[in-house]
Structure 1
Amino acid sequence: MKRLLALFAMLMLAACGLKPMYAGGASGTVAQGLAGIEVSPIEGKAGWLVRNSLVDRLGAAGPGTARYRLDVRLDDRLEGLGLLSDDTIARERRTLRARYQLVDLTTGEIVLDATAGSDAGIDVVSSEYATIAAEQTALENLSREVSDRIVTRISVFLRSGAKGQ
């Protein structure tokens, strides 16, 4: 009975039309599209971290082979949240937001205009060094998360664009 139920579930899943995002591996439509994206320089330390993460995830194309250009503007904020009775900050929130545009290099048209963001809470401790280290670690983690969200959104765009072509 369990085997029959499992077989039925597999048949239903196959009939739903779901397809793997990266079907075809490195020669698939999405992987080729991601490899054809050139990432513009991004200002600041957060920009450097996000750009490096994007280049790593996209499998950056060599010079002259890019079909798209990715332009990213970041908003990095660090704000105090919790106040103790002696008016010192006990907690901070670091927020990293990105507005990004995917530009088709052949036409100059913006084919995707979207935003991504994430935030992290940081405990402020008596050691200034530990607090600064926590702020930097939060920035590194947020940079990776924002770049992951950007790549995922671009992958969905490339996959849906490939269906229309």
Structure 2
Amino acid sequence: MTRLALLAAALLGLSACGLQPMYAGGGNGAVARGLGAVEVPAIEGQAGWLVRNALVDRLDAAGGGAGARYRLDVRLDDRLEGLGVLSDDTVGRERRTLRARYQLVELASGEILLDATAGSDAGIDVVSSEYATIAAEQTALENLSREVASQIVTRLALTLRSRS
């Protein structure tokens, strides 16, 4: 009997925790509709093309088809730097860093709703094959682009959720 009373008390405590699902209502929910109403203009460079495509894929999947109410302006900083220097004065390890500064702008008023940054980095082994090193650098950029886009969409969803 005491166990049942403790279980009931615990369940009541959980129901009052204040957590709510982010995407309540599925594709018709406020957050999904808000994400679907975000337009992403072209972003400069190869990294920009990759990030924009990842953003468009995630935003269209979230809301799909809504008219644009927001614009997402993104500026990227893509860096590749050598870290480990070997005894023969060659680089043995590189780090690729991708950082994004982005702003969510409401089109009707021009108000900036969100001004934030996102970023990620990856380590790359430099090997004797130049092709393998270039392929590793490209793969790192593709992975970083998806990661940065994911961070941006999560932050957008939080912002749009707080506005609804």
Q: Normalized against structure 2, the TM-score is what?
A: 0.92
Q: Which residue of 1 aligns with 2:151?
A: 149
Q: Which residue of 2 aligns with 1:50?
A: 51
Q: Which residue of 2 aligns with 1:76?
A: 78
How far did residue 120 of structure 1 move? 0.4
1:6-36 deviation line (CA, Å, top 9, x unaligned): 5544332211110000011001010000000
Preserved contact between residue 78 and residue 95 of structure 1 (Cα < 8 Å): yes
Q: Which residue of 2 aligns with 1:18?
A: 19
Q: Within 1, Cα distance between the matches of 2:89 and 2:4? A: 64
Q: Within 2, Cα distance between the matches of 1:134 and 1:8? A: 54
Q: Normalized against structure 1, the TM-score is what?
A: 0.91
SS in structure 2 of the partner of residue 138 of structure 1: helix
SS in structure 2 of the partner of residue 73 of structure 1: strand
Tell me the matched-pair count: 161
Which AA in structure 1 matches 2:146?
Answer: R
Question: Structure 2 matches for 1:13-162, cutoff 5 A?
Answer: 13-59=14-60, 62=65, 65-162=67-164
Which AA in structure 1 matches 2:108?
Answer: T
Q: Percent identity of the aligned residues?
A: 73
Unaligned runs of 5+ in 2: none
Q: CA RMSD in A?
A: 1.7
1:17-56 deviation line (CA, Å, top 9, x unaligned): 1000001100101000000000010011100000000000
Q: Within 1, Cα distance between the matches of 2:140 and 2:22? A: 29
Q: Within 2, Cα distance between the matches of 1:101 and 1:9? A: 41
Q: Within 1, Cα distance between the matches of 2:26 and 2:9? A: 28
Q: Within 2, Cα distance between the matches of 1:52 and 1:4? A: 53
Preserved contact between residue 37 and residue 61 of structure 1 (Cα < 8 Å): no
